[in-house]
Amino acid sequence: VPDDWTNLARRLPGVGRREALERNLREAICAGRLPAGTRLPASRALARELGLARGTVVEAYQQLVAEGHLLARRGSGTTVAAARAHPTPAAPPPPPAAPAPRISFHPGVGDLAGFPRALWLRALRRVLADAPPEVLGYGDPAGRPELRAALAAHLALARGMVTSPELVVPCAGFSHALALLARALRAQGARRIALEDPCIPLHREIVQAAGLAAVPLPVDERGARTELLPELRVDAAVVTPAHQFPLGATLAPERRAALVEWAQAHGRLVIEDDYDAELRYDRQPVGAVQGLEPERVATAGTVSKTLAPGLRLGWLALPPGLKSAVLAMRAREDRHLNALDQLVLAELLASGGLERHLRRLRARYGARRERLVAMLAERAPHVRVRGISAGLHAVLEVPDEDALVEAGARRGIELFGLRRFWHAEPRGPGALVLGYGAPPEHAFAAALAALGDLLDQPA
Amino acid sequence: VPDDWTNLARRLPGVGRREALERNLREAICAGRLPAGTRLPASRALARELGLARGTVVEAYQQLVAEGHLLARRGSGTTVAAARAHPTPAAPPPPPAAPAPRISFHPGVGDLAGFPRALWLRALRRVLADAPPEVLGYGDPAGRPELRAALAAHLALARGMVTSPELVVPCAGFSHALALLARALRAQGARRIALEDPCIPLHREIVQAAGLAAVPLPVDERGARTELLPELRVDAAVVTPAHQFPLGATLAPERRAALVEWAQAHGRLVIEDDYDAELRYDRQPVGAVQGLEPERVATAGTVSKTLAPGLRLGWLALPPGLKSAVLAMRAREDRHLNALDQLVLAELLASGGLERHLRRLRARYGARRERLVAMLAERAPHVRVRGISAGLHAVLEVPDEDALVEAGARRGIELFGLRRFWHAEPRGPGALVLGYGAPPEHAFAAALAALGDLLDQPA
């Protein structure tokens, strides 16, 4: 028995001698140190060498024979199994991390440091104290009934929606809802879907990956130009009526009417992205379009803007005609979200804990927006601010968005130009889509000052 | 102003008079009590009637005009908007709940009452105390790096797998992993996929929904007959090597070799369902097939059997060639699982908390299996027990499975016949797939006695 073999007796923390031998031997084979065809010492010889009981070695050999790493043939002893490629998969090294920006004005996230950790933990403690064991089972692919009931009640009251627990499906956010709807529409024969121009590029990718053509729907100061829908010959339209993303308008009343009339007259589907409707600072948010035509509108919302995107928690209120197709997809795929997370959100809705959190958020973000507007009036009066007083972002019309984004990057300030949101060519002036919600509260004043310095100076 | 209008002033809990008026008016329109064309009282008249300030009524009217529920035209006052169907979606009433069985022997779930609630809550408290705010952001669609690293280390040690954090993707359980893989394979041109016969019917549905033909791969006492794969002309094969579900064999060494040789020789994919490999009671579990050929095997595991299915937490170890396709799907759909849940599982893996829980589970379920076998030897010696000492279920060969399942149902005992798991016709004798893990610990003795009574008697 050569010296090399003695390494096989290396002890491993927390496991016995038999298992340590087995793991060391397996690792030596997988790493190629014991190539195919290598003849192993007789169990008696190896046991003596390693100071182990013979039975320990026999068992380890048997285990690796069972796994296919070793071959045992009468008369020829035990050998390493036939040559196979056993590389450690050569995953490319992760790209060198770009230095994190000092200040981010990401338009799609709120203040992550403000996530109400204690509120979440308390709610989970209550859920774990009260929930019967059955909630931990496979469960209904449509989701927990407690959450579906709490959401249906919340959406009726807060968003003027006409729905019922049977039609509300918890999901992992708007992009998940859109992926489900796009695949369901494609399976029903749909070919083309309109998306606002500008919009979030990921939403175009989602519908294209489902096999649908993404058709641009122009947007102006009154929101999406829904009066154009009949001539676009699309099967569905994705819209952000409460707060157009990114341009920031609320869909005007005649545009809402045109949207609903198109869906009714042509039997089409409206997909309403209600991503930040809880955050309006100047008045009550406009109710969801879904309330006008619950048979033809699917509305999806999320806690990404009000709690945190990392929770991957949202909901989809379905028109009755799409319910079975979407639920069948859930049943065949992820089944549903973590039941505990669903019960925590239900608890936060039912207890009023989420509503109290929202009141704090509205005060905080509303004040941030006012401070932004005041700073701009003082330090960059040439910058026009577009969009309603809502959500986490404002649109700042600037003479040269690309130069500003680059100048910001040089100073460690992450800015988002409007350019990335157009389908193809820009249909309007250059702008920054400025996420005033993103900086942590304690750093907001400094972030605003840094933005002022940037806009104050030639790029 | 007629009496009916006074209902509009009904106060609602927690909201002001303006918002209450707005909600009542919206609800009256949506419910059809104010039909299209109805002319509303002048704001001054309604305000006087309801005892509200005129401005309150004006604002409520404006809000509903903005939403499209009302039309305001100069000279003709305010009217309810053009006729639309506004039904409350007529969701079918939920089916009358069948009375829950008194005792369930579901083969796919463990003792849900034994879920370690305190362990989970403590781990979340630690995560919330330590995690930086960034973890709550949109994050990498591949999942949290902490969990991917913890899983890669765990899978190497406990399952003999050869992988790396870059190739391990947290997902919502095996069915989610299978749906992702099936869709990725279909997009790459695959047409046919082999599934063990018998297997879980949902897995057949998943691959069929992805557009693939589900081809039966026969199973015998030595596991799946992988030597038949070359003649099945399939692009991939779904197998349960550690513990065939439902028949309970471990894949024999020569079958493991044939499986890997087929994948290598024909460039095919093995999809390894490692659903309960942590639960073996008589010896060390056999390592994953993936360790023999990491370039051609995708292995998915889950906490459904060891913690709870309702958590929807699992993992998928990808061959390098499928990584980008699967990650692109995650990026376009749900993005990833709740980051907090991922960090809790990482914490349970890294702290050893999960391993300690597993040791308790093995002792508990191993003893249950022994008690089941002893009871059968005494009370139903004609029943043959198939399958290794592992997991949550045993296969009991019985003369007439259908009669037994029915007799059980009459007594409130939920039994699962083998019949439901075959692709088409049974390829073997009738049997019960008996989940001895499912009853709560305190009720196990009674459940076993009830089973004994049932098997003891003519059906």
A112 secondary structure, DSSP code: G
Residue A62: its chain B contacts at CB < 8 A?
none
| pLDDT tens for each residue of A152-177 | 999 998 999 999 999 999 999 999 99
The arithmetic mean of pLDDT across residues B244-263, rounded, is 96
Closest CA–CA distance from residue A63 to any residue of chain B (Å): 7
Average pLDDT over every residue of B107-125? 97
Asked whether residue B90 carries a pLDDT value surpassing 60, the answer given is: no
Query: In this complex, do A68 and B179 lie within 8 Å of one another by their Cβ atoms?
Result: no
- Chosen from A163, A166, A330, A334 to mutate, greatest number of chain B CBs within 10 A: A334
Q: How confident is the model at residue B14 (pLDDT cuts 50, 70, 90)?
A: low
- Measured between beta carbons, the chain A residues lying within 8 angstroms of B22 are 284
**Which residues on chain B are in Cβ contact (under 8 Å) with A30?**
160, 162, 291
What secondary structure does DSSP assign to A333-395, as a single string? TT-SS-HHHHHHHHHHHHTSHHHHHHHHHHHHHHHHHHHHHHHHHHH-TTPEEES-SBSSEEE
Express each pLDDT in A371-411 by its tens digit: 999 999 999 999 999 999 999 999 999 999 999 999 999 99
| A109, A137, A139 member nearest B138 (Cβ) | A109
Residues of A in contact with B205 (CB under 8 A): 332
**Strand A269-273 relative to strand A236-239, pairing:** parallel
What residue of A is the nearest CA neighbor of B28? A160
Q: How far is B176 from chain A (nearest CA, A)?
A: 5
Question: What residue in B sits closest to A167 (Cα-Cα)?
Answer: B91
Chain B residues within 8 A of A333 when measuring between CB atoms: 172, 175-176, 179, 206
The predicted pLDDT at position B351 comes to 92
- State residue A365's pLDDT score: 98
Do B84 and A260 count as a contact with CB atoms less than 8 A apart? yes
Measuring CA to CA, which residue among A59, A74, A64, A53 is closest to residue A28? A64
Q: What's the mean per-residue pLDDT of chain B?
A: 92
Q: Test A167 with B89 for CB contact under 8 angstroms.
A: yes
pLDDT at A98: 63
- Asked if B334 and A339 come within 8 Å (Cβ–Cβ), the reply is no
Give B-chain residues touching A91 at CB under 8 angstroms.
Answer: 164, 166-167, 320, 323
Q: Which residues pair with B385 in a beta bridge?
A: B396
B68 to A163: CB separation less than 8 angstroms, yes or no: no
Mutation for testing the A interface, residue in B21, B106, B138, B297 having most A CBs under 10 Å: B138
Q: Which of A167-181, A317-331, B64-78 has the lowest mean pLDDT?
A: B64-78
Cβ atoms of residues B257 and B241 within 8 Å: no
No. of helices (H) and no. of strands (E), chain A: 14, 15
Nearest chain B Cα distance for residue A429, angstroms:
27
Contact (Cβ atoms closer than 8 angstroms) between residue B86 and residue A294:
yes
What is the per-residue pLDDT for B100?
76
The whole-angstrom separation of Cα B136 and Cα A287 is 28
pLDDT tens string A321-368: 999 999 999 999 899 999 999 999 999 999 999 999 999 999 999 999
Q: What percent of chain A has pLDDT over 70?
A: 94
Long-range contacts formed by A15-23: CB under 8 A, 24+ apart: A17/A52, A17/A56, A18/A56, A18/A59, A18/A60, A18/B284, A19/B284, A21/A50, A21/A52, A21/A56, A21/A57, A21/A60, A22/A59, A22/A60, A22/A63, A22/A64, A22/B284, A23/B157, A23/B160
Provide the ipTM: 0.88
Instruction: Collect all residues of chain B within an 8 Å Cβ-Cβ radius of residue A138.
Output: 108-109, 304, 309-310
Chain A residue at shortest CA distance from B18? A284
Residue B87 pLDDT greater than 80, yes or no: no
Query: What residues form DSSP beta bridges with A397?
Result: A384, A431
Q: In what order do the strands lie in the sheet with A393-397?
A: A384-386, A393-397, A431-435
Q: Report which of B141, B140, B167 is spatially closest to residue B152, judged by C-alpha positions.
A: B167
* Interface contact B81-A166, CB threshold 8 A: no
- Residue A297 region, left (φ>0) first, then alpha (ψ -120 to 50), else beta? beta
Between A173, A293, A338, which is nearest B312 by CB?
Answer: A338
- Residue of A423, A146, A179, A196 whose CA lies nearest to A298: A179
| pLDDT tens-place string over residues A4-16 | 777 788 877 667 8
User: Which tokens go with B70?
Assistant: 């009302």
**Most distant CA pair in chain B, distance:** 92
Residue-level pLDDT at A458 = 53
At A97 the pLDDT is: 58
Q: Say what the pLDDT of residue A123 is.
A: 98
The C-alpha of A450 sits at a distance from chain B's nearest C-alpha, in angstroms, of 22
The confidence band for B459, taking pLDDT boundaries of 50, 70 and 90, is: very low
Contacts with B312 from chain A: Cβ below 8 Å:
334-339
Spacing of C-alpha A115 from chain mean position: 16
Q: Averaged over B153-176, what is the pLDDT?
A: 94
Determine the pLDDT at residue A230.
98
Which one of B121, B320, B331 has the shortest CB-CB distance to A128?
A: B121
Please report residues of A whose CB lies closer than 8 A to that of B34. Answer: none
**pLDDT above 80: residue B37:** yes
Q: Which pLDDT value is given to residue A95?
A: 60
